[in-house]
Structure 1
Amino acid sequence: MATIFNEKNVSFEQRQSPVPEFAWHTSRKLAEMAGAKQLLFEIRSLDPGKYSYPYHFHRSVEEIFVIISGRATLRTPAGFQEVQEGDTVFFETGPEGAHQLYNHTAEPCRYLDLRTNPGIDICEYPDSGKINILPYEEIYMADERVDYYKGEENVAEKWK
């Protein structure tokens, strides 16, 4: 069955991070309401002078932004460019798909955030060197990576 979302049945809640520059309004559980199994999606509204999530990329998730209204500056590995109403932007997996939005205008920028749902994803943040295991939000510093066999010495002793 088709599920239609519009201003009558979509409500927004403000999400404010501890860092004041990161704030947005987001719809609640649209994919769940629709019964989606393979996709996650929300409608987001980015207020003037605010950034979307920190600059990041996904290892397992492909993502699309459809700009519904307004304009924003998009940051990618290729640089900065303005996106506006009617634009559709695809982000591939891996470092080439890194992205972040900043609303440089005086009006809100509303966009559909649509992404695949593999169940578990690894999100990396190049600016801060963090790794996030989603959906669990287990966040680690990438520079703390260790060798696969670290701590596995003397395995035979553990079998006694």
Structure 2
Amino acid sequence: MAFVINEKTVSYVQRRSPVPEFAWHTTEGLSKRLGSEHMKFEVRSLDPGLYSYPYHFHRNAEELFIILSGKAMLRTPEGLQEIGEGDTVFFGIGPEGAHQLYNHSETPCVYLDIRTDRGIDVCEYPDSGKLNILPEQQLFRRVDEVDYYEGERNVKAIWGGLGQSPQDAGPEA
């Protein structure tokens, strides 16, 4: 089945954050409502003087912006660049794909935000050192990063607390 999406067929919900500079209008849940299984997409509108999401990149998702109207400044690892109506911008996986928009103009910037959906994703925020496990929205600070074996030194005691020793747990266990 085909669905036509345009200004007449979408309605926006305003999303605000506790940080007033981050606010946008979004079709929120559009891809899910249309039955998309492998793509996430929303039409977003960024008002003048506001920023999109915090500067970030994805570890397991590619993202594509298609600017439908207006213009904005795009921040990437390469610096700042103005983008506008008709531009398509691709963001790859990893730090090279980091991005953020700022609407420096006097009119809204409306864009289609498309993201691949391959299950669990980790979104990283270089400015604040956070990690976000998506879609659960579990946030952690990178500064708390630990070694793989951190806290794993008492394995025999843990097994002993389970009612059997490691020696008793053979191949049949």
2:170 aligns with none
Q: Which runs of 5+ in 1 are unaligned?
A: none
Q: Distance in 2 between matches of 1:142 and 1:54?
A: 16
Report whether the alignment pairs 1:16 with 2:12. Answer: no
Counterpart amino acid of residue 149 in structure 2: Y
1:145 corresponds in structure 2 to 145
Partner SS state of residue 101, structure 2:
strand
Q: Does structure 2 conserve the Cα–Cα contact (< 8 Å) formed by 1:11 and 1:28?
A: no
CA–CA distance in structure 2, aligned partners of residues 140 and 126 of structure 1:
13
How many angstroms apart in 2 are the aligned matches of 1:97 and 1:33? 28
Give secondary structure in 1 for the equivalent of 2:80: strand
Query: How big is the shift at 1:8?
Result: 2.8
Aligned to 2:2: 2
Mapped to 1, the partners of 2:137 and 2:159 lie a distance apart of: 34
After superposition, residues 5-44 of structure 1 pair within 5 angstroms as 5-44=5-44
Q: Which residue of structure 1 lines up, in the alignment, with residue 63 of structure 2?
A: 63
Residue type at the aligned position of 2:143: D
Unmatched tracts of structure 2, length 5 or more: 161-173
Q: CA deviation at 1:89?
A: 0.1
TM-score by length of 1: 0.98
Q: CA separation in 2, counterparts of 1:24 and 1:99?
A: 16
TM-score normalised by structure 2 residue count: 0.91
1:38-117 matched pairs, under 5 angstroms:
38-117=38-117
CA shift for structure 1 position 17: 0.4
Q: Show the counterpart of 2:132.
A: 132
How far apart are residue 154 of structure 1 and its match?
A: 2.1
CA distance in 2, matches of 1:78, 1:124: 17
